[in-house]
């Protein structure tokens, strides 16, 4: 862009300030939470009064009751809900990704009812969560199915995340060149071999994206879970329940740990993604060098 007009300079200033504000609002809570997790008793008091690791200790030793000295403090063991959430998240991610990939592959062809079925497949994403939770509970009661994480819980979590995977795969499938598959097929590869050795590797970023959606959305799910988990308590449900009683620094300690772990995990994910993208982008540019003497720098996705 050449020289900015005064109006554009104003727009730059305003939008830049707004973006900075957005980043501040997004990250300040994490910073505050982490700083508060190191104090001993106060709940929402800033600045922190003292410095101690006792909240983390409480988190790790939930049965060591001598640590819990704040009046009315919830004695919550977060390990069982955490384990349950991780298992449910992994299961949801895998099931949703496999089914979403299959459906997306079917959508490469035209068939009767393709238009309406597109919306049907997205229904689980479009319906407000509370309604699905209520409906699933009513249905389960009607047919005598017990509400557990592995029955109604898994059903709803997959129904919620599968459409995201489906969209991810449609986006990838619409952007990649089907001629490589034709090349493989014309060289004699069977359809299964084509899928395994050509289609699936090309879709690998899509698979990763779909798994990430499935796992994180499930790990975070509260809207749909309220009526369908029975006595099984997932981590976000447990956190909401505890918050209703009293927020203690233990919650902040847990939140800080979750934030650190997920930021680290996501950083690794995006780094891997970026490296993969650059690797493929570089080879593409190198190949084009013969035709375009001054190859433009690899454009961002």
Partner 1 sequence: MPVSVRTLPTPAGATERAPAGPDHAAQLRLQARRRRRETALLLAPALLWVLVAVALPLAMVVWVSFWRADGATLVHTFDLDTWSGVVGSGAFRSIGVQTLKVVAIVLAVVATVGLLCGYFLARFVRSKRTATLLLMLAILPFWTSYVIRIITWQPLFGNRGVLNWLLLELGLIDQPASAFLYNETAMICAMASLYVVFVIGPVYWALSRIDDDVIAASRSLGASAWKTFWKIEFPLAKGGLVAGCFFAAIFLFGDYATEQLIGGGTNPALSGTIRAIAGSGQWPTAAALSVCLLAMTAIVLGIFMKIHDLRREL
240-269 residues in contact with partner 1 (CB under 8 A) are 240, 243, 247, 251-252, 254-255, 258-259, 262-263, 266
Take residue 2 and report the two structure tokens written for it: 């050449």
Q: Which is nearer to partner 1, 266 or 282 (CB)?
A: 266
Choosing from 73, 78, 227, 229, the residue that interacts with partner 1 (CB under 8 A) is 227
With CB under 8 A as the contact rule, which of the stretches 55-63, 64-72, 171-179, 285-293 interacts with partner 1? 171-179
Q: Which is nearer to partner 1, 139 or 284 (CB)?
A: 139
Rounded to whole angstroms, the Cα distance separating 8 from 224 reads 45
Q: Which is nearer to partner 1, 22 or 204 (CB)?
A: 22
> What's the min distance (Å) between Cβ of 84 and partner 1?
15
* Interface size with partner 1, residues (CB under 8 A): 108
Choosing from 236, 281, 285, 295, the residue that interacts with partner 1 (CB under 8 A) is 236
Cβ-based neighbours of 121, under 8 Å, separated by 6 or more:
103, 162, 163, 166
Handedness of CA 150, 151, 156, 162 (dihedral sign): positive
Choosing from 67, 91, 93, 167, the residue that interacts with partner 1 (CB under 8 A) is 167
Q: According to CB under 8 A, which residues from 53 to 92 bind partner 1?
A: none
Choosing from 53, 61, 64, 123, the residue that interacts with partner 1 (CB under 8 A) is 123
Choosing from 84, 88, 156, 207, the residue that interacts with partner 1 (CB under 8 A) is 156
Q: 16-36 b/e with 16+ CB inside 10 Å = b?
A: eeeeeeeeeeeeeeeeebbeb
> What's the min distance (Å) between Cβ of 294 and partner 1?
16
Q: According to CB under 8 A, which residues from 27 to 56 bind partner 1?
A: 27-30, 32-33, 36, 42-47
Rounded to whole angstroms, the Cα distance separating 116 from 97 reads 21
Phi-psi map region of 240: left, alpha, beta (phi>0 left; psi -120 to 50 alpha): alpha
- 290 backbone dihedrals φ, ψ, rounded to 5°: -60, -35
Q: Where are the beta strands (DSSP E) in the chain?
A: none
């Amino acid at each position: 862009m050449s020289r900015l007009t005064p109006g554009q300079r104003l727009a730059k200033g305003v939008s830049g300030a707004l973006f900075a504000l957005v980043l501040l609002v997004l990250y300040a809570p994490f910073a505050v939470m982490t700083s508060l997790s190191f104090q001993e008793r106060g709940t929402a008091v800033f600045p922190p009064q003292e410095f101690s690791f006792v909240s983390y200790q409480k988190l790790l030793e939930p049965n060591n009751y001598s640590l819990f000295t704040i009046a009315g403090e919830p004695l919550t063991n977060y390990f069982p809900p955490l384990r349950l959430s991780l298992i449910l998240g992994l299961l949801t991610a895998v099931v949703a990704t496999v089914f979403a990939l299959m459906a997306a592959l079917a959508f490469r062809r035209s068939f009767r009812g393709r238009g309406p079925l597109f919306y049907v497949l997205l229904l689980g994403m479009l319906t407000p969560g509370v309604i699905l939770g209520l409906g699933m509970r009513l249905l389960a009661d009607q047919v005598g199915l017990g509400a557990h994480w592995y029955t109604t819980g898994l059903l709803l979590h997959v129904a919620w995340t599968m459409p995201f995977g489906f969209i991810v795969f449609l986006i990838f499938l619409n952007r990649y060149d089907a001629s490589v598959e034709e090349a493989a097929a014309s060289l004699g590869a069977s359809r299964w071999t084509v899928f395994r050795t050509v289609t699936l590797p090309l879709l690998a970023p899509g698979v990763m994206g779909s798994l990430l959606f499935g796992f994180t959305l499930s790990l975070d799910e509260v809207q749909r879970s309220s009526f369908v988990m029975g006595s099984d308590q997932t981590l976000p449900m447990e956190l909401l329940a505890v918050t209703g009683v009293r927020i203690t620094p233990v919650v902040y300690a847990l939140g800080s740990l979750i934030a650190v772990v997920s930021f680290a995990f996501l950083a690794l994910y995006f780094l891997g993604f970026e490296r993969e993208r650059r690797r493929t982008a570089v080879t593409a540019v190198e190949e084009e060098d013969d035709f375009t003497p001054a190859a433009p720098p690899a454009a961002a996705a």
